[in-house]
Structure 1
Amino acid sequence: MDSKKIFSGLLLFAGLILLGATLLYFIGNILSGSLFITALTLTAIGFLGFPQLKGFSYTIWILVAVVCALFYPSAFITVGGFELKKVIVPFVQLTMFGMGAHMSFDDFKGVARMPKGVLIAICCHYTVMPLIGFLLSRMFNFPPEVAGGIILIGCVPSAMASNVMSYLAKANLPLAVTIGACSTILAPFITPFLMKFFGGQYVEVNVAHMMIDITNMIIIPVVAGFIFNMFYFSNEDKKTKIIQLSAFAGIILFTNLIMMWVLNESVTELLISFATSMWWFYFLPMATAMLLKRARHISRSVIEQGLSFVAMVGIVINTLVITAAGRDNLLQIGGLLIITCLIHNVSGFGIGYFTAKIFGLPEKDRRTLAFEVGMQNGGVATGIALKMGKVATLGLASAIFGPLQNLTGSSLANWFRKQPVSDQNENDHALSINQEAEFKNDLVG
């Protein structure tokens, strides 16, 4: 039987189940929740059979998580006495580790090659999105902590998915990678101050504590990813490896020294904390990379697919946990919050694109800036909300913004892809082709 007919049948069956679930929901039947989940699951699988819909399958899986949490919240708050919200930060760290494993210092060389585009994107991202979040929080009458969450999602670095959107949109992928790397590295030093300035009226913000939390969620896992990349993917000479490893160890030590100062820890606590960090984020990725490199039956594509899969699963689980924790608030203000996040996201796309146009950047760069400005790292926002002890309220906006931006971003990328692109200069064009080829290999494994 033709596989396309099977996938078409799944979508038809999903539509019928969805219709039945809707009818049961309005008459108050408890089976409606299970039927909604079944319909969405079949839809996610059915989309895989159509190239034009395949990109939306992941978004449907996120919707499955949301529906599960809305109908059966108690099942996703605690399991056997274990609070599921405790997995949020580890999953964010795993995601950032995966990002670091695909990066190297070469990604930062783009700052020298494309300084204008990088500078405009970073400035626009860290001014436009927080400001829009602030204006939207004042415009709509949300509870203070929910309003603070809208500002928070505007203050975090750009989303990793923006690179995928740039690739799909035939944008400047090398520029996207460089902007994403710079945005991420700068986050511990920018996000806390922006949040304090714009969101301090809604929630109490401890700048020093937030800097430490973001560093532990972003910088340290990315460093671990760099180390993994160095020992598995790259062929750096011994001298370069020693220099980079020394720098990475210094970053971990400096982070722990700052933690000791902020948290008033003793020297003994510092040594224990430093040793723990070195094991998890320095020696373990190093040893794992060397072992995997010797395992001939495990290819690079398998590892990259594994890292991507873990990141996607982490985002789905985090969405599930946050939605379950904030279910009551979400049911009260969910519709308005979705509209708010949509305005926030689409405004970022538009302002990013037209700012690049005003400054005379070529079409490919304009597309890149649209995604880098408009797409936010919801995982980091969620992790910050958890560390502040307000994931059920402060984390709601990020739970909505993340899935929503994947939907709008995919739609915009597909539209851009159909539009003609003016030529770049030869050097940038060659670099873009090489990096797009590597990125395509990462996507398809």
Structure 2
Amino acid sequence: MEILGRISSWAGKYFALIIVVFSIIAFMMPDTFIGFGSYVTILLGVVMFGMGLTLKAADFKLVLTKPIPVLIGLGAQFIIMPTAAFLIAYLLKLPAEIAAGLVLLGSVPGGTASNVMVYLAKGNVPLSITMTSVSTLLAPVMTPLLLLIFAGEWMPIDPVSMFMSIFQVIIIPILLGLLVNKYLPRVTEKGVTLLPLISIVAITIIVMAVVAGNRDNIATAGVLVFVSVMLHNAFGLLLGYYAAKLFKLPVQDQRAVSIETGMQNSGLGVALASVHFTPLVALPSAFASAWQLITGTVLASRWGKKNARSDEGQDIEGQQIDSREDKLSSASRG
């Protein structure tokens, strides 16, 4: 178990590099990995089950005790990201499927990788965890609604069918994880060290399946997709930061909102594209899986070297990380 824990820690540290390397392998040998496409939703369900195992009632405490930062963060998440995706797609005149895929990426909730990045950036970790948890639970309603508003002109959207898909692949596994965590705590304690490794393997396979299934599309439109994803991520990080700054939130909150806004649950984007659209629609989310980890790490490293004091010069409340630091290593989930 100790060896697996070390492997898990190493994989979490180099997750972005792992995705890039195996994506290249999948591009070079697509026939070997294209069959994994049929397991995308199952793999994402496993990742979300792992998220449920790490959730606690305390993760939602801030919604009641300090709702303003949470609401500002959620507003940034569900307003800035889909709007930015729509504008980028429109201005760059992206092909319909890539445009819809970028809007899909902007409409999914925040990814749990953001929790680790906020911790490294000396941001407000409880706020980050709350934003991830709440946005994920809102996803069955918000993601189909946002897609209907912003992507309807490029692709036909069935919000009811998408609601059911998100509920099945996100909400049910999370609820099962919560139940296991509550009634079988010893099982959770033993398995939590392996969660990062399981999540990394699952997300890597998902990305490999998308790359393998889109080899020709990547060869012709890869640069365009990468540029659009890069711009989308940059706008999310930048505008998320200034949205929090506009409302005069403390520095730690600004960092949390910025990272939470810019880092999406790309695995969910890939899964929804695979079920409801075409393989090409999944490309922006697949590219984002690696890119947002790279930018998140760079930004967190830069902020982490600065003095992370709030505007009032006080440490933020609830910044104790205790054993959840290990659980947050499941950054790889998304």
Tell me the number of residue pairs that the alignment of Structure 1 and Structure 2 aligns: 323
Change over 3 Å in CA distance of 1:364–1:332 after alignment to 2: same
Cα shift at 1:93: 0.5
* Matching residue of 2:195: 307
**What's the CA shift string for 1:108-136, capped at 9, x where partnerless?**
11111221110001111101100010011
Cα shift at 1:141: 3.1
Gaps of 5+ in 2: 1-6
* Matching residue of 2:140: 188
Change over 3 Å in CA distance of 1:428–1:86 after alignment to 2: farther
Distance across 1 between alignment mates of 2:233 and 2:227: 10
* Matching residue of 1:60: 17
* Matching residue of 1:32: none
Cα shift at 1:156: 0.2
Distance across 1 between alignment mates of 2:215 and 2:126: 40
Cα shift at 1:232: 2.8
Report the structure number with the largest CA radius of gyration.
1
Asked whether the 8 Å contact 2:73–2:257 carries over to 1, the reply is: yes
Asked whether the 8 Å contact 2:12–2:200 carries over to 1, the reply is: no
Cα shift at 1:440: 2.3
Superposed CA RMSD in Å reads 2.1
- 2:43 maps to 1:91: yes
- 2:186 maps to 1:229: no
Distance across 2 between alignment mates of 1:427 and 1:220: 39
Bigger relative contact order, structure 1 or 2 (CA pairs below 8 A, ≥6 apart): 2
Cα shift at 1:442: 3.1
Asked whether the 8 Å contact 2:97–2:154 carries over to 1, the reply is: yes
Cα shift at 1:337: 1.2
Asked whether the 8 Å contact 2:88–2:228 carries over to 1, the reply is: yes
- 2:111 maps to 1:159: yes
Asked whether the 8 Å contact 1:55–1:410 carries over to 2, the reply is: no
Give the 5 Å matches for 1:301-340.
Answer: 302-340=190-228
Cα shift at 1:306: 1.5
Asked whether the 8 Å contact 2:12–2:196 carries over to 1, the reply is: no
Give the fraction of aligned pairs with identical amino acids, expressed as a percent.
32
Give the 5 Å matches for 1:120-159.
Answer: 120-159=72-111
State the TM-score, normalized to the length of structure 1: 0.69
Cα shift at 1:398: 0.3
Distance across 2 between alignment mates of 1:310 and 1:441: 14
Asked whether the 8 Å contact 2:60–2:130 carries over to 1, the reply is: yes
Counterpart of 1:101, as a letter, is L
- 2:21 maps to 1:69: no
Asked whether the 8 Å contact 1:129–1:154 carries over to 2, the reply is: yes
Asked whether the 8 Å contact 2:107–2:147 carries over to 1, the reply is: yes
State the TM-score, normalized to the length of structure 2: 0.92
Asked whether the 8 Å contact 2:55–2:178 carries over to 1, the reply is: yes
Cα shift at 1:350: 0.6
Cα shift at 1:220: 0.6
Asked whether the 8 Å contact 1:114–1:175 carries over to 2, the reply is: no
Counterpart of 1:385, as a letter, is A
* Matching residue of 2:232: 344
Cα shift at 1:424: 7.8
Asked whether the 8 Å contact 1:187–1:214 carries over to 2, the reply is: yes
Distance across 2 between alignment mates of 1:165 and 1:204: 35
Secondary structure of the equivalent of 1:394?
Answer: helix
* Matching residue of 2:3: none
